[in-house]
Structure 1
Amino acid sequence: MSNPKEIKRKILSIESVVKTTEAMKMISIVKLRKTKNFFMQVKIYMDFIESILLDLLSVRDKKIFEENQYFLSKGKIKLFIILTSDRGLCGAFNSLIFSKINHIFKKKEDLHNEYMFLSIGKKGFDFLCRNQEYYNMYNKNCIESNLSNQKIKFLMSELILDFLKKKFSSIYLIYNHLKKSSFREVVIEKLLPISIGNEIKKTSEISHILEPSQKEILNFIIPKFLNAKFLKIFWESITAEHTSRMRCMHQATENAYKIKHDLILHYNKERQTTITKEILEVISGLESLK
């Protein structure tokens, strides 16, 4: 039989847990609104600059593609950038990425020197540090996920420069893609080299007049396109993180309320049992006096 005082102490601790989870849920909701709004603005900019690039690429000139380094894959090492969170309490947000990486790359132990990894987020950095025998790190310093747009631009300029110097043959992003407000999946998306697929179609029958030249215009617009693409994926990952944390805190609050309800019922039963026992002792004492 449990002690009513101990049950009361557990109820008070559960109430403090409920206050904490509700507060974290509200914080996540506020942050989610801000990041979602910013993500939608970046997405509009990304779609606009992508349409400009596709329109330029629709002017088919094979020499431009053969000579432009942004479309060529040279080198041996592939760089994978993983986007994780700095803090926990966000459900399977980070573990889904880690399991995806382990599933793909741990089977290729003999080829692990051909891959390098860069983590944006403390959780991903800790994961790479724990598995250094499998994963070579591009940067030994931890890059936190609360990056400003200027820092993202600077990081992208370094990555593009390394790619142009043929340090990497290709660059990929591994992140949580938010399909719906309640569903996400881990996606591996190529950033460099730029793939020329079937989506490039001539949007107009009018011949384009490009000045000073198509080559110079592409060299100007492509870095802006890559920066916008990385910025969009970065804020999409942040939005998915806050969505996951909000859902987890909501579920934790509901579970805490359920535990509290069960403890209150148990407390009332134990209290009723104690009172009944005391009444029986008093009655038995009176009967013995008679």
Structure 2
Amino acid sequence: MSNPKEIKRRILSIESVIKTTEAMKMISIVKLRKTKGLLTHVKTYLDHIELLISDFLLTEKLEKNKYFLEKEEKKKLFIVFTSNRGLCGSFNSLIFEKINQLFQKKGYSHNECIFFSIGKKGFDFLVKRYKIYDKNNNWIDWGDDFTKSNEKIQTLTKKFISIFIQKKVSSIYLMYNNFKKSLFQEIIVEKLLPVSVDLQKEKTEIEYILEPSQKEIFDYLIPKFVNAKLLKIFLESSYSEHTARMISMHKATENASEIKNDLVLNYNKERQTTITKEILEIISGLESLNEKK
């Protein structure tokens, strides 16, 4: 049987774990609510930009535009959104599994795909196995400051548009984790460049006059669209990460509580056994004294 003191030490250790997981769960809930509010505003902004672009495409005869044409070069750049820290269940592993499927099921070659990781966990996975774009500065520790994150995303927007226009890659895709309402995780692969928007079924009643020119309008509007889309995906990935971590910490707390209950039960049994043993020794001692008398 175990030593009651050892069981007591383990109980105290488990209680410390429960406090930690509960605290991490509450932190994730707070961050989740904050991210959800930001995501709602960014989605509204992006929807209006997409609507504006689709109206332009329906009312104007689109000339050959650098943002809408796929390049002859067949290299694809995948921007992968992962977390910087662990303890978030299968959030990162599902992304890694999806990346492996690109080569196993889709039949892509290693020379055809380049990866850019937003998140340290993704960088650590990709750098050992696949071709990385900008190895020296590939992952960015976003932190929780939305203003700084938005500034970094604006920098990335300029970088991605530049390498696309310079024909270093033919297309750019976003790969991220999305939580459904049923708490089911789904890995989304979405094209960023060349730009593709859902055209309305019916022609818009608004007759736009593009001034000074179609090219200059799109040169201003498309970077705004790309930046908003990157920001939306970043927030959706963060939302999914906090949801996954909240669920993971909740399950960890439940499991730790079950272990604690089992340890308390064992501790009480051991203590009762010890007390019973001591009582028997006292009774045996009294009986032996009575026999001597």
Percent identical among aligned pairs is 64
Which residue is 1:143 aligned to? 139
Deviation at 1:207, TM superposition (A): 3.4
Q: Is 2:116–2:138's contact at 8 Å kept on the other side of the alignment?
A: no
Structure-to-structure mapping, 1:101-140, within 5 angstroms: 101-106=99-104, 111-131=109-129, 135-140=130-135
Shift of residue 145 of structure 1? 4.3
Instruction: Give the distance between the partners of 2:208 and 2:270, measured in 1 at CA.
Output: 84
Read off the aligned partner of 1:218 and give its amino acid letter: F
User: Residues 71 and 194 of structure 1 are in contact (CA less than 8 Å); yes or no, is this contact kept in structure 2?
Assistant: yes
Q: Which amino acid aligns with 2:38?
A: F
- Structure 1 vs Structure 2 CA RMSD: 1.8
**Could you tell me the TM-score, scaled by structure 2's length?**
0.91
Tell me: CA distance 1:258–1:190, structure 2 relative to 1, closer, same or farther (3 Å).
Answer: same
Shift of the 218–142 alpha-carbon distance from structure 1 to 2, 3 Å rule, reads: closer
Structure 1 segment 193-232 matched on structure 2, within 5 A: 193-195=194-196, 199-232=199-232
Counterparts of 1:154-165 in structure 2 under 5 Å?
154-165=155-166
Letter in 2 for 1:30: V
The amino acid that maps onto 1:276 is T
Please name the residue that 2:285 is paired with: 285
Residue 90 of structure 1 corresponds to which residue in structure 2?
A: 88
**Partner AA of 2:160 in structure 1:** L
Residues 82, 119 of structure 2: 8 Å contact kept: yes
Aligned length, in residue pairs: 283
Partner of 1:10: 10
Using the TM superposition, give the Cα deviation of residue 130 of structure 1 relative to its aligned residue in structure 2, in angstroms: 2.3
Counterpart residue type for residue 99 of structure 2: I
CA distance in 2, matches of 1:196, 1:52: 10
Displacement of 1:33: 1.6
Runs of 4+ in 1 over 4 A off after TM superposition: 106-110
* Cα distance in 1 for residues equivalent to 2:49 and 2:195: 14
Q: Distance in 1 between matches of 2:111 and 2:184?
A: 34
Q: Which amino acid aligns with 2:89?
A: G
- CA pair 22-70 structure 1, distance change in 2 beyond 3 A: same
Unpaired segments of 5 or more residues in structure 2?
143-147
Could you say which residue in structure 2 is the equivalent of 1:171? 172
| 1:206, distance to aligned residue in structure 2 (A) | 4.8
- Aligned equivalents of 2:75, 2:102: Cα separation in 1: 16
Question: How much does 1:181 deviate?
Answer: 6.6
* Amino acid of the structure 1 residue aligned with 2:31: K
In 2, Cα distance between equivalents of 1:159 and 1:208: 29
Looking at structure 2, the residues matched to 181 and 139 of structure 1 have their Cα atoms a distance apart, in angstroms, of 37
Distance 2:173 2:109 in 1: 17
* CA drift at 1:162: 0.6
Q: How far 1:210 moved relative to its partner?
A: 2.4
Structure 2 CA distance, aligned partners of 1:136 and 1:142? 12
Kindly provide the CA deviation profile for residues 161-193 of structure 1, in whole angstroms up to 9, marking residues without a partner as x: 110010000000110022227232111111011
In the alignment, the residues of structure 1 paired with residue 108 and residue 19 of structure 2 have an alpha-carbon distance, to the nearest angstrom, of: 50
Q: CA deviation at 1:121?
A: 0.5
What TM-score comes out, normalization by structure 1 length?
0.92
Cα offset, 1:219, TM superposition: 2.4
Q: Which amino acid aligns with 1:38?
A: L
Distance 1:110 1:33, change over 3 A: closer
Structure 1 pair 287/38, CA: closer, same or farther in 2 (3 Å)?
A: same
Query: How many Å separate the matches in 2 of 1:60 and 1:210?
Result: 9
Distance 2:109 2:56 in 1: 38
Q: Contact (CA 8 Å) 2:8, 2:267: kept in 1 or not?
A: yes
Distance, in Å, in 1 between the alignment partners of 2:162 and 2:42 is 23
Deviation at 1:289, TM superposition (A): 1.7
Deviations 1:257-284, CA, capped at 9 Å, x for gaps:
1111111111101111111111111111
- Give the partner amino acid of 1:192: L
- State the shift of 1:196 in Å: 5.6
